[in-house]
Structure 1
Amino acid sequence: MKSLIASLHDYINVRKSLGYKLTEQERYLKSFVKFLKKKNCQYVTVKLATEWATLPRDAKLATWSQRLSIVRLFARYRIASDPRTEVPPPYLLSQQPNRVTPYIYSEQEIQKLLKACQLLPSKGLRCHTYFTFFGLIAVTGCRINELISLNRNDFDEKNGWIIIRNSKCDKSRLLPLHQTTIQQLKKYAKIRDRFPVQDGNAFFLSDRGMRITEWSTRYVFIQISKKIGLRNMIDSHGPRIHDIRHRFAILTLLNWYHEGADINKKIILLSTYLGHKKPTDTYWYVTGTPELLAQATAKLEKNIGE
């Protein structure tokens, strides 16, 4: 196992290789590692991280929060190589809500979700709609509202793509699809077109022939999540639809790492495909996922060795 200081150097180098400027963060983390050494501790603990973060006793909460968040990111990286590491929880010293920790679905869980959709009680399109809807998120990483807003003519069967219009960042984008996805969308479109339609523009329709809503989609997702055991029957929180998008991004990046691809070039493609405003938004999937940081570290070490 690498020492804490060696791991810190790797972490800084990895993040710099991804385009981050870490002057202040590097200074803070070196200070934190020295602090741990003085305390005769060889791994990150929540207690010592909090103690170090609040060392400027007269500082504002915002400063404490910033210092702890810097340690938190490093701890997420370090835990992949040292399981003793404790990651400070997001709410600790927080002055505002933190980004929700994503749930990474297994392939088996995705298949269970889709199978549960096929078993939904339905008078017409409901089971077909949600099977195709959640499956499309899984293979494209689209946002829920992007697919709810999808129109019938946004699916180009001939060329095998869908058009996402006026997304979160007020940009439209064209998404090429895998052949199996194209075939499933064709199959759904054929079934959809046979049913009485109240909203002829919408691609994804309810049993009543209307465009599905965000509320109904989330309701269906919660119900099937409980049926397959992703949530307890009384849980008000749990794995989200948006986490399926996160899974798509993570798997794409991991596959590229395994292939030895140049991530700095590839991530621009992924950022465009996901509809992110800038590539740094996509880099979060790397910094927020220990396995990806470990992959990035391994690749960096290989480059240094060569």
Structure 2
Amino acid sequence: MPKKKFYGFHSGFAVQLNEFIEYKRSLGYVENSYFHLNSFDEFCADKYPDADELTSDIVTEWCAISDKGIINRCSQIREFARYLLSMGKQAYMYPATAIPKRNDGLPYIISQAEQSRFFDATDRRIYSKKSPIMEYTAPVVFRLMLGCGLRPREVVCLYRRHFDFNNGTIYIEDSKNHRDRRIAVSSDLMELCRRFDYIADVFFPERACFFPNKAGNPLSYPSLVYLFQKSWDLSGNDTGEGRPSLYSFRFTFATETLMRWIEEGRDIEAMIPYLSAYMGHVKFKDTYYYIKLLPDRIAKMKFMSVNGIIPEVNRNEWW
């Protein structure tokens, strides 16, 4: 039986925090996704050394601390409380309505120079005995996100059955607002996915998911975030304020597609419905949002040179 890992907690919640992290790891989450809990443990050890019940006073005081990480900090303590409640223990659940809303400003658009350095980093990712499939996953999963503008959770929910390699399409199932769609994919990108599928099949012959973790189960969202952050740091791109997120691939896809259409002289008004359907937007206004990002960027950025980001498809296949 494997020895249980201990994470250095020392407050009255040490055992419960340790069990919570182990539980999240069993679901595929990376342990450093919950680094705020280390600070929470220190906070409790200092101010509530005898406490072993997650009370309203403890949670409210912890969530009242104002800093740049307040949103994640409040969200993580809510998850911890939810876990305790599921285990039949008493715990105060901080109201979701009390958590400050994000104000991220304009989305981060990844420049072509940054893209080049990033994918160079993913392509030379070092082999890891703990998770050997990751050196093959990184080059493919992020190219797929950039080339198709997929949402992060759409990527981790992809299964092998969703890929039609003969017709060059991917079926996005039960996405945001429980909507399905089928997207056409460029031949080069589809061939890359086909090669990855073959390699992953060698590691996990019985797998159903397309992007597996080290155990052959679906790659989790936190693991995808961790893989992106490690690859970005390895790329040598800026790691300071305003660094990109996984959604930056989607933002970049949308704006570069629009700019390419402008350069080609296409009628943007007529093309918006196609881009909206491709990206899975419920309303056209969600797609029009990207147009306001164009004026300041047209003079600064080159257009994507890859043809076929949204290939011509039969209308019946599109919908």
TM-score range, shorter chain: 0.5 to 0.7
1:188 counterpart residue number:
196
Which residue is 2:128 aligned to? 122
Report the alpha carbon displacement of residue 100 of structure 1 after superposing the two structures with TM: 3.4
In the alignment, is residue 154 of structure 1 matched against residue 159 of structure 2? no
Q: 1:177 to 1:187 in 2, by over 3 A?
A: same
Amino acid at match of 2:193: L
SS of 2:170 mapped into structure 1: strand
Q: Paired residue for 1:101?
A: 106
Structure 2 counterpart of 1:135, which letter?
R
- TM-superposed CA distance for 1:289, in Å, is 3.4
Q: Hey, what's the Cα distance between the residues in 1 that align with 2:142 and 2:234?
A: 16
Aligned counterpart, 1:212: 219
The residue type equivalent to 2:216 in the other structure is G
Identity of aligned residues (%): 30
Residue from 222, 231, 234 that aligns with 2:229: 222
Query: More deviation in 253-262 or 105-114?
Result: 105-114
- In structure 2, give the amino acid aligned to 1:108: A
Change (3 A) 1:151 1:96: closer
Give the direction of change, closer, same or farther, for the CA distance of 1:165–1:117 in structure 2 (3 Å limit): same
CA distance in 2, matches of 1:201, 1:241: 24
Paired residue total: 197
Residues 196-238 of structure 1 show CA distances to partners (whole Å, capped at 9, x for unaligned) of: 357x221001232221111111111111212223343xx5862
1:288 to 285, 293, 297: 293
CA deviations over 1:98-139 (Å, ceiling 9, x no partner)? 353212212232232222223143332111112110010110
8 Å CA contact 2:172–2:183 kept in 1: the answer is yes
Q: What code does the residue aligned with 1:245 have?
A: R
Answering whether residue 283 of structure 2 is matched by residue 278 of structure 1, we say yes
Write the letter of the residue equivalent to 2:140. Answer: T
Match for 2:221: what amino acid?
E
Q: Secondary structure of the residue that 1:230 maps to in structure 2?
A: coil
Change (3 A) 1:120 1:144: farther
Give the structure 2 partner of residue 247 of structure 1: 252
Flag structure 1 segments of 5+ consecutive residues without an equivalent. 1-94, 295-306
Cα deviation for residue 258 of structure 1 reads: 1.2
Residue 272 of structure 1 and its aligned partner are, at CA, apart by: 0.5
Report the AA paired with residue 230 of structure 1: N
Alignment RMSD, CA only?
2.1
Q: Answer yes or no: is the 8 Å Cα contact 2:117–2:236 preserved in 1.
A: no
Asked if 1 retains the 8 angstrom alpha-carbon contact of 2:165 and 2:190, the reply is: yes
Deviations 1:67-117 (A, max 9, x none): xxxxxxxxxxxxxxxxxxxxxxxxxxxx96435321221223223222222
Report deviation, 1:268. 0.4
- Match for 1:243: what amino acid? S
Is 1:168 the counterpart of 2:173? The answer is no
1:283 to partner: Cα distance: 0.4
Runs of 4+ in 1 over 2 A off after TM superposition: 95-100, 120-124, 229-232, 288-294
2:140 aligned residue: 132
What amino acid does structure 2 have at the position aligned with 1:196?
F
Where 2:176 maps in the other structure, the secondary structure is coil
Q: TM-score, normalised by structure 2?
A: 0.58
Q: Which runs of 5+ in 2 are unaligned?
A: 1-99, 300-319
Contact kept in structure 2, 1:287 and 1:293, CA below 8 Å: no
The equivalent residue for 2:187 is: 179
TM-score, normalised via structure 1 length: 0.60
Q: 8 Å contact 1:286–1:293 — kept in the other structure?
A: no
Mapped contact 1:197–1:209 kept (Cα < 8 A): no
AA partner of residue 180 (structure 1): D
Shift of 1:269: 0.2
Instruction: Tell me how far 1:266 sits from its aligned partner.
Output: 0.3
Shift of 1:293: 8.5
The answer to whether the Cα contact below 8 Å between 2:272 and 2:284 also exists between their aligned partners in 1 is yes
Could you tell me how far apart the structure 2 residues matched to 1:196 and 1:185 are? 16
Letter in 1 for 2:115: I
Greater mean alpha carbon deviation, residues 219-228 or residues 247-256: 219-228
**Distance change >3 Å, CA 293–CA 236, structure 1 → 2:** closer
Compute the displacement of 1:177 (Å).
0.9
Kindly state the Cα deviation for residue 144 of structure 1 after the two structures are TM-superposed: 0.5
Instruction: Give the SS at the match of 1:169.
Output: helix
| 1:225/1:292 CA distance change after superposition, 3 Å | closer
Residues 211, 218 of structure 2: 8 Å contact kept: yes
